[in-house]
Amino acid sequence: MTAASERAAELSFFASADGDLAYLDVGTGAPVVLLHSGFADHRVFDDQIPALASDFRVIAPDIRGHGFSANASGPFRWADDIAGLLRHLDLGPAVLVGLCMGAAVATDTALEHPELVRAVVVSGAGTSAFEYEDARLLERRSRIGQLLADGDVAGWLDEFAQGVAGPHRTVDEVAPSVVRRLRELTSHTISKHTPGERDWYVPLGDPWPRVPKLDVPVLAVHGALDWPDSLAMAERFAQTVPNGRTTTIEGVGHYPNMENPEEFNTILGEFLRAL
């Protein structure tokens, strides 16, 4: 049995209106939902799940189209999928912890379904209205999009790895175990899709005017070596809500939870226990 099939056997599945959505459900206590980055899956949080499960009920879903969850066959919104899962489990309000794309999923859910959300933690992004200004990042995103459209998975994975490193380091300066894990996860998700397929995701619109009304505690966890645009989006979100704050982990980039799990877990644990 492969590692992927072993993990699949540990997952539960929520029969949504458009296919089964996979999630890991471990631990007991107040619910914490871990929302992974784009092209990855819940295994991005493998260093957080056991650390949190001793005190909390940890729900780690695969966002639609990622990991072990079904692809979309019609219009969908991230927020509605997560809200549907929480209602299926009769959970809420829950703390939502989001990394990059997962941060956008968390904030969308908090804005659209506030009764289900107790607090939000973001890292690497803010709302789903992504804001990119850095010419280096814009160029890299364009290359990644073209490689994906061309079906050049190997080239895409190389570009993705550089994104993990951020603008201040080379890939060789990131722990090989982190890069290897992310390549494995993203390869799994990419294998579920075909070049040129329709994107059924429905954007929330302009969420920023609604953010000041989001009256829950918010924490932004920065990786000091992350892309400036990623830091700025998370910072803006934390500074726009009534009850937000930020903290920075030095020496790490876009995946602080993977590069320095000990410090990330300490920060997250302290935030959760203070709620």
> What are the Cα distances from residue 166, in Å, to 170, 174, 256, 274?
8, 10, 12, 31
Task: Count other Cβ atoms within 10 Å, centred on residue 19.
Answer: 17
pTM here? 0.96
Q: What is the pLDDT of residue 54?
A: 94
3-state secondary structure 32-47: EEEECCCCCCHHHHCC
Q: What is the pLDDT of residue 1?
A: 63
What confidence tens digit (pLDDT) does each residue in 78-114 have? 999 999 999 999 998 999 999 999 999 999 999 999 9
Residue 215 pairs in a beta bridge with none
What confidence tens digit (pLDDT) does each residue in 198-207 have? 999 999 989 9
In 146-173, which positions are buried (b, 16+ CB within 10 angstroms) versus exposed (e)? ebbeeeeeeebbebbbbbbbbbeeeeee
First to last CA, the chain: 41
For the chain (length 275 residues), average pLDDT per consecutive 10? 76 96 98 97 98 97 98 97 98 96 98 98 97 88 87 89 90 95 95 92 95 97 97 98 98 97 98 97
Q: What is the pLDDT of residue 147?
A: 87
The two tokens of residue 208 are: 């920023």
Specify whether the CB–CB gap between 57 and 31 falls below 8 A: yes
Give the residue from 273, 266, 165 showing the smallest Cα distance to 223.
165
E strand intervals along the chain:
12-16, 19-26, 31-35, 57-61, 94-99, 117-123, 218-223, 244-249
Sign of CA dihedral 222, 116, 105, 4: positive
Rounded distance, CA 225 to CA 217, Å?
A: 25
What confidence tens digit (pLDDT) does each residue in 38-56 have? 999 999 999 999 999 999 9
Q: Which domains does the chain have, with CATH numbers?
A: 3-132+201-274 (3.40.50.1820)
Specify whether the CB–CB gap between 253 and 169 falls below 8 A: yes
Q: What is the pLDDT of residue 5?
A: 74
